[in-house]
Amino acid sequence: MGVAALQFAKARGIRTVGTAGSPEGLALVRRLGADLAVAHDDAQAAPAATGGRGFDLVLDIAAHLGLVQDIELLAPGGRIAVIGARAPVEVHPRGLMSTGGSVHGILVFLAPPAELHRINLEIVAGLAAGTLAPVVGRSFPLQAAPAAHHALMTERAAGKVTLSID
């Protein structure tokens, strides 16, 4: 999801800061054109990209790990889109109150049919234009589906984990 979000943003000329949890992930973020690539454990360096103002939008793919920190990084009126979480997280609302920020949960399959149609049209257009290109991190044979699932749930992936049918 992060790769696609970065590609969509760059195609629209949006200034982006990407984070990653490994040197390989940071290299991928840079290769995809992020204006700044920051390690997850050094995310406090990211506000420098905004002159200390904070971020208008933060996409969080692992909110159980980063939501508390995301709140600290918001610009006034900023928004956090939670795209993924694997565990509960406790936050103090004071950070949101002090910026007027908000947190939104995103599940694409809950979007209305017209919105899903628009999303699909944008994906097809991005693929056709070359501004959207899937990145495969690891591929497993179909017989190794349990190992692929284990890798997906336990490793920090740089790109998609796929299954191949031979």
Q: What is the pLDDT of residues 102-124, one digit of tens each?
A: 999 999 889 999 999 999 999 99
Residues 76 and 143 in one domain: no
Residues 98 and 142 in one domain: no
- Residues above pLDDT 90, as percent of the chain: 66
Coil vs helix vs strand at 58:
strand
Domain count, the chain: 2
pTM of the model: 0.85
Residues 118 and 157 in one domain: no
Model confidence at 79, in pLDDT bands (50, 70, 90)? very high
Q: For residue 146, what are the domain limits?
A: 135-166
Residues 78 and 140 in one domain: no
68-72 own/partner pairs: CB under 8 Å, 24+ apart: 68/92, 69/43, 69/44, 71/95, 71/96, 71/99, 71/101, 71/103, 72/44
Q: CATH number, domain at 41?
A: 3.40.50.720
pLDDT at 157: 67
Model confidence at 49, in pLDDT bands (50, 70, 90)? confident
Residues 166 and 95 in one domain: no
Residue 56: both structure tokens together: 């208008």
Residues 143 and 66 in one domain: no
Residues 6 and 74 in one domain: yes
Q: What is the mean pLDDT of the chain?
A: 90
